Structure 1
């Protein structure tokens, strides 16, 4: 059993058979708990080929005279009012070329031969059901839907996370979802509990608490995935990152060039041609300002080749666009000279202002975390927090120095 649990957590595809100590295969039966993950099934005790299983593919009837809530995968469930027959939750499978409905009561006759993803949160099923006892007439169905949705989200998140970090993410994710369910269990609905003696004020506090826990979960997940993305990007080979940068720029240039050509040939009307030319020039000039000679030259070559295949050039040879390679070369030499300078520091009350020439960054190092208003001002002025350097920083240029002088009230530097 421990072997099966470990397999569910770590394997990308969970197989329905594992070898027991006696050498006989163990069957994984289809249940209401794992049905949402099942991809293919087969009748127990037969050697027929497995058939596709589609959880909640169709709904055969609608709730009437009651509150209706649409949930995942086009299933309609009544939250309040008349009880809904279980046949509204269909589990179609294909057998002998025909699609058939499989009732939950028949699951015991089927085994699962393939899963879409592991059962990361199956152990939370009872907690999830209890979370809806006071606020839904269909607690089991609502819990089932939540577990299914969170497991799918978790499975997709894990595709973006390095192997070494996956188990930590699974454990924290599971813990936070458990907290969410426990918080939800304190929320009630008078349509379920009855209105007699219902404490609306306490229920409002419980709902606010649940919303806070949910917001915390969203922020944690967003921050974790963003951090992983940054770390992954940092670890990518430099050549790969530069190639990706060029592909994005090339795509933008090609889009603007195609529009310019359509304007010239009368296929696109009502557009300002000069704006699209300026768009190309401004994008490439940004790279020239960073001394990126190779990217700039690729952009110039691309436009030259594009012009060669059409009657009217999208950017004429006299345009200063074709001088950006020289600009980039001069800027590269200037940046190299600047990077060889020794860093400069200016102390102010509460921190240090650093001209970091090696990284071409103007950095502000505070002795303690600045107040919220100061952080907003830094962000609005182009400064961003760098966890690596433990500093607020932006590209080193005259505008950055002017912004720092204003924010820190340093006039004599």
Structure 2
């Protein structure tokens, strides 16, 4: 395989790229995984930041262990808003008071979708449609089905190509005076297609609709500018490029102009105006705090804080530049493979439409997955034939990309014999 694909040239190119990489030092600031040659799943679960175990232990011993319940008054109570503001500043283009950390992505998407849909249908009974695309992430589609059933609404589907993603002209055709909310992913989970957030939001607004963006595959790797887009709402996870760990809490964004009237449906005591009053009736807390329901996941926010701090130090612009360089390099390697190998790249070539991962297609990927994992190469397989190469810029080197893809190609060749 090495002779056929010019592996020696790719190895030398990788060394040169790593030597010139301004973010190269960040790779050593993550925990190592013994036996892993190439980790290609940063778009599903980021690596833990180095020293996180000690940081967690310090929290247990000191913040929790010595301050005990006093910690709530000394900072924990408003950690969801403070960390939300930091994520908004570093990664979302969101001013303060509009982002909060709580719950899972699924729960926050549900809260925001219901809040926007309820407000829209109350203001105009004709607005009974939720617009979304057929290749949106399953959770988004399932949630929309559930909200539509609860509120006697109708789903209007945009048919999208799984190898690309939703385009502004498709949204323009789908929205009308009947549309209440448009629910879309900014970066398509399958192909990595980056939607035009500003144009799509403007088109929806022209029709009187509101837009809810799923930023799970954007945050921390693709620039987002929610305030400049005049976005209405957004949600996303923190365990991919923010490195918050498995099951880490999500973030939700609700534009300040909507906070007084968009009322989320899960009325828990921590989202009440005066939670410790324990009184009758629910009155939502003012501002973004009204999106909270239950007790904030304080312990789970410790890894998220570490990941966001690292991203802030590197700068999202530099992270995006390296992300594109990594996927360009991966593209060149795969393109150099012999045509008879039959691997297709199912992701956008244009930088403006390419997210943080590449998707490769081959009917034999499922057959070689176990072999790759045993060899220390960890990609992400998606049925029926897709291998996602998720390259987290701060923790991934160009040498790692060359090593991993060389083994992917070799495994396919062996499987075909």
When normalised by structure 1's length, the TM-score is 0.20
Q: Which has the larger radius of gyration?
A: 1
Q: Which has the higher contact order (CA 8 A, sep 6+)?
A: 2
When normalised by structure 2's length, the TM-score is 0.20
